[in-house]
Amino acid sequence: MDNRKSSQRRRFEVRPVTLRSDRIAAVAFRVGGSAILLMVFGILVFIVVQVFPLFQGAKVKPLHERSVESAGYVLLGVDEWTEFPFLMTRDGDFHFFNLNDASPPHVLRPEALGKASPTAWAYHQDREMAGLALETGECLIQQVAYQPEFDEHGQREGVRVALESVASINSGAEGVIHALDFDQTERQGLLATIESSTGGIRLRVTSYQRKVGLLSAGDWQQADSRDLTLQLSGRPTHVLVGGHADTMLVADDSGVVDVFLRRTGGLELIQSFRPFPDEKIASMDWLAGRRSVVFGSPQGQLKLFSPALEEASGQVAYDLARELQSLPGSPTLFAASVRNRVFLVGSGDSVSLRYGTTGAQLWRDTLPFEPRFGLIGSRYKNLLFLSEDNRLRSFALDDPHPEASFTGFFGKVRYEGQSEDRYIWQSTGGGDDFEPKLSLIPLITGTLKGTLYAMLFAVPVALTAALYSAQFLTARVRRVVKPAMEIMASLPSVVLGFLAALWLAPLIESHIPSVLLGLVFIPLSAVMAGLVWHRLPPRLRDILPQGCEFLPMIPLVVTVFALGWWLGPFAEKLFFTVSDPATGQSVADFRLWWQESLGMQFEQRNALVVGFMMGFAVIPIIFTLSEDAMANVPQSLVSGSLALGAGRWETARRIVLPMALPGIFSALMIGLGRAVGETMIVVMATGNTPLTDFNLFSGMRTLAANIAVELPEAPFQGTLYRTLFLGAMLLFIMTFAVNTLAEITRERIRQRYQSTP
C-alpha cells in the first residue's frame, strides 16, 4: 500500500531537469526583457544627449587682454583667427597688435593716403576691406591682407600683414565727407558718401567697374557719379550700400529711410518708410549678406527689416520682419557675424548676442567695462572689444548652434526674401549667404498626412477582410488566404516604393477620374450587392455553399472597376474642363482643373499614391492580427448566439467584434506605427517636398524619410545633424504616446468585456 502511494507521488513529481530548465528559462526571460528595456532606454538617452546642445545658449569666457596706447582710434578690425587685430587712428595709421604677447604694434599706413587724414571710414569684415574718404573727395578702398606663415612642420607660427590698394575713386564731393559705405562684386561696385558743404548736406553715389577675364581681372575704373540729394526725404544721416552693389539705404534726420535700387539708367528711388513712427534713427547696420538691416532708435528699440517681393506691385520692398528685444538705451555698439545672422549689439556696458531671423537672445551680460568697439570673429569663435580704458579684450565664444531655437523648430518664421511668416524646411542652399531653415512642422505634417491616407485606405479593407475570413470564409479557403496575406507583409518596402514611383504614380496621374470613380463604385456596389443578397429567397442563397458567397463578388468588383475606368474620361470632359493657359483652348484635364479651380498643387508623386502603396504595406499587418483576434473568440459564444436565432452577421457584429475589440485595437496601433515609421515608400513615391498642407495631390516629406535623406550628408554634430536627432526624438515620443494611449484604451476595453461568460 505504501509502495503504491510512493509510486503515485513519484509519478506526479516534476523531474529536476525540468525544474532547472524552467528556472533557466525564467531567468533568461527576465534578463532578455530587462535588456530590451535598457536598450530602448539607452537609445532614448543617446538621442536626448544629441539633441540637448541645440537648446543651450552661447557661452562666453575671457581669453586675452592687452593694453594699447591712447591714439584716437576710430576703426577696429581683426584677422580670421582673432589673434592679430588692428586699430586705425584718426590720422589713418593702422596699428596691428598681437593678442598673444605684449609686443609693440606693427604700424602701417596706406601709400595712397600720403600725409592726408581720412574724414570718414568704413570697414567690411567679411572681405577685410576698409574704405577711407579724404578731404579732396577721393575715396580709397584698401585690402587688409593677412598672410599666415608656417613652420617646417606645417604649423602656423605667425601672420604677415599688409595694406593693398584695391581702388581709388573720386566721389566728386565739394565738401567734407563725414559718412561713406561701399559694396562691390567681381565686376561692379557702388560707393555712397554723405558730405557737408556750403550747399548743405548732400548725398553722392559713384559707380565703378572692371573687366574680368578668364585668368585675370583689370583695374577698377570709375563709371559715373551722381548727386541724389534732391530725391531724399530729408537731410541724410546714415547710408548703407549692399545687395551685391545694387541696393542703397539712406536714413535722414526725420527718421525716414529711402531705398534705392540699381536699374539700367542708374539708381532709382523705389521706397520710403519709417522704421520708428515717433523716433529718429540712431543706428542702422547690415546683417550677413548685406540685405537685411537692423535699425536702432535713441530709446533702444531694435527692428529688423528685410526685402521681399510684393505680390501686388511685383517689386521688391523692405518690410518689418521682426521686432527685437529692446536695449536699455541707445545702441552704441553693433557688429554682425560674417557666418550667420547673429549680431552683437550693446548699449553702454550691456552687451548681447542676438539671432536676427528668430529674434532669439543667445547671450547677454553686463561687462565690467564699457566697450567702444566690438567685433565677432570671422569663424564665430571669438568676441573682440576695445574698451574705453584702451584695452583690447578677446573672449572665447562657444555657440555651435545659433540657428537652433524653439521658435525656429516649431514656430512661424519670416526668412529673408519671404513676405510672411512661414514654416519652412530647407537645410541646404546654393549660396554662401544661405540661411538654414529648419522648421519641423512640415515634416510633422507630412508624417501625419502620409499616415492618415494610408490608414484611410488600409483600415476598411483590412478589417472587413479579417472579419469575413474569420467568421464567414470556409476553413479550406481560409488556409490559403491567410498565409497569402501574411506573405504580403514580407514584401520589401523598397520594392513597393519602386512600383509606386515607376508604375503606380504615372498610371494614376493620367487616369485620376477613373481611379476616383473606381474608389466610389467598388464600395457602393459591394453594399448594394449585400443588400440584394440579403433580400434573395433562402432557396436561391442556398445555391452557393456557406462561406463561398465571395465568389460572385469577384466578377462584380472587376466589372464595376472596369466601368469606372471606362467612364473616367467622360467624367473628366463633363466636370473637369478648363482653359489651357498655354493655348487658351478648353481642355479636359483634371490636373489643370485642380490647380486653377482649387488653387492647390498637383504633383505626380503625391499623397494618393503613398496612401495606396503604404496602405498595401499596412493591410497584411492589420489583417493578420485582427483575424487572429476574431478567430480566437470562444466558439461557444458564437454557437450560442446562432442557437438563439441570431444570424451570422448579427453574431459577428454583436458577439465577435466586441470580444475581439482589444486585439483589433492593438492591430490598428501596430499598423499605425508601421505607417508612421515607413521610410522607403515615402522617399520613392512622393516628391519628398516638405509641405504643410493635407492636399491629396501634393507631395510631402515625413520625419523618417527626412532622416534617411539628410543624415548621410549632415556634418557630424552640426546643427542639421542634431536637428535630425530631434526629429527622431519626436518620432520616438509620437510612437510612445500612441502605444501608451493604445495600451490604456485596450485595457479599458478588456475590462469592459472581461465579465462576459
Q: Report the CATH number at residue 618.
A: 1.10.3720.10
Assigned C-alpha cell, 283: 543706428
The whole-angstrom distance between residue 231's C-alpha and the CA centroid of its chain comes to 42
What was the pLDDT predicted at 371? Answer: 94
Question: What are 109-130's pLDDT values in tens digits?
Answer: 998 888 889 999 999 999 999 9
H/E stretch holding 736 reads helix 719-753
- pLDDT tens track for 600-633: 888 888 888 988 899 888 999 999 988 888 888 8
Q: Is residue 656 domain-resident?
A: yes
Q: Which three cell numbers stand for residue 645?
A: 436565432
Confidence grade of residue 757 (pLDDT, cut at 50, 70, 90): very low
| pLDDT given at position 286 | 95
Nearest by Cα to 726 from 748, 743, 746, 703: 703
In a domain, 64, yes or no: no
352 near 364, Cβ under 8 Å? yes
Name residue, grid cell 486585439: 663
Query: Regarding beta strands 176-184 and 59-67, do their DSSP bridges make them parallel or antiparallel, or are they unpaired?
Result: unpaired
Separation CA 168–CA 512 (nearest Å): 66
pLDDT digits (tens, 9 = 90+) for 370-429: 999 999 999 999 999 999 989 999 999 999 999 998 989 998 999 988 888 899 998 876
Nearest one of 369, 367, 392, 334 to 71, comparing CA atoms: 392
Mean pLDDT of 65-73: 89
- Domain ranges, residue 453: 441-510+603-753
Residue 455, Cβ density class (10 Å: 0-12 exposed, 13-18 middle, ≥19 buried): buried
Helix axis angle, 607-631 relative to 657-677, nearest 10°? 150
- What is the DSSP code string of 588-646? E-HHHHHHHHH-----SS-HHHHHHHHHHHHHHHHHHHHHHHHHTS-HHHHHHHHHTT-
Smallest CA-to-CA distance from 222 within 329, 138, 282, 298 is with: 138
- Cell numbers linked to 721: 545633424
Give the whole-angstrom CA distance, residue 262 versus residue 191.
12
User: Where does residue 218 rank: exposed (0-12), middle (13-18), buried (19+ CB within 10 A)?
Assistant: exposed
Identity of the residue numbered 249: L
623 and 715 in contact (C-beta within 8 Å)?
no
**Could you tell me which residue, 377 or 431, shows the higher pLDDT?**
377
Cα 535 to Cα 523: distance, rounded to the nearest angstrom: 19
Per residue, the 3-state secondary structure of 244-294, as one string, reads CCCEEEEEECCCCEEEEEEECCEEEEEEEECCCCCCCCCEEEECCCCCCEE
Short-list 211, 234, 225, CA closest to 169: 225
Cα→Cα distances 512→215, 311, 567, 685, Å: 55, 32, 11, 16
Which cell is 280 given?
A: 529718429
Domain assignment of residue 425, yes or no: no
- Structurally, the chain folds into a number of domains equal to 1
Residue with cell string 555651435: 400
Sign, CA torsion 636/637/643/644: positive
Q: Which residues does 699 contact at the CB level (< 8 Å), separation at least 6?
A: 603, 605, 606, 607, 686, 687, 688, 689, 691
> What's 676's DSSP letter?
H
The reported pLDDT for the residue numbered 11 is: 60
Asked if the model's pLDDT at residue 432 lies above 60, the reply is no
Highest mean pLDDT among 331-335, 508-512, 515-519, 691-695 belongs to 331-335
Domain annotation covers residue 467: yes
Give start and end residues of each alpha helix (H) in 378-504: 406-410, 441-471, 475-488, 493-499
Residue 685 has pLDDT above 60, yes or no: yes
* pLDDT tens profile 520-564: 888 888 888 878 877 777 777 777 777 677 777 788 888 888 888
The three-state secondary structure class of 380 is: coil
The pTM (predicted TM-score) of the whole model is 0.87
- Closest C-alpha to 194, from 207, 183, 205, 209: 205
Residue 260 counted as domain residue: no
* Three-state SS annotation for 110-140: CHHHCCCCCCEEEEECCCCEEEEECCCCEEE
Partners of 143 in beta bridges: 129, 164
Please name every residue paired with 671 in a beta bridge, in sequence order, or none if there are none: none
Do the domain assignments include residue 638? yes
Band of pLDDT at residue 155, cut at 50, 70 and 90? confident
Q: Are strands 221-227 and 236-242 parallel, antiparallel or unpaired?
A: unpaired
DSSP string, 70-106: ---EEEEE--TTSSS-EEEETTS-EEE--TTS-PPPE
Residues 434-472 pLDDT 10s: 788 999 999 999 999 999 999 999 999 999 888 888 888
* Lowest-pLDDT range of 58-62, 163-167, 684-688: 684-688
Contacts of 123 (CB under 8 A, 6+ apart): 75, 76, 77, 129, 130, 131
Q: Is residue 335 in a domain?
A: no
* Tens digit of each residue's pLDDT (9 = 90 or more) over 236-294: 999 999 988 999 999 999 999 999 998 887 889 999 999 999 889 999 999 998 999 99
Query: Picking from 72-81, 103-112, 682-691, which range would have the lowest pLDDT averaged per residue?
Result: 682-691
Q: What is the largest CA-CA distance in the chain?
A: 137
Average pLDDT of the chain, as a whole number: 87
d(CA 589, CA 573): 8
Q: List the grid coordinates of 634.
A: 470562444
CA distance 449 to 453: 6
Residue 214 included in any domain = no
Residues 565-576: tens digit of each pLDDT: 898 888 888 888
Q: What is the pLDDT of residue 429?
A: 67
Question: Which stretch of 83-92, 234-243, 657-666 has the lowest confidence by average pLDDT?
Answer: 657-666
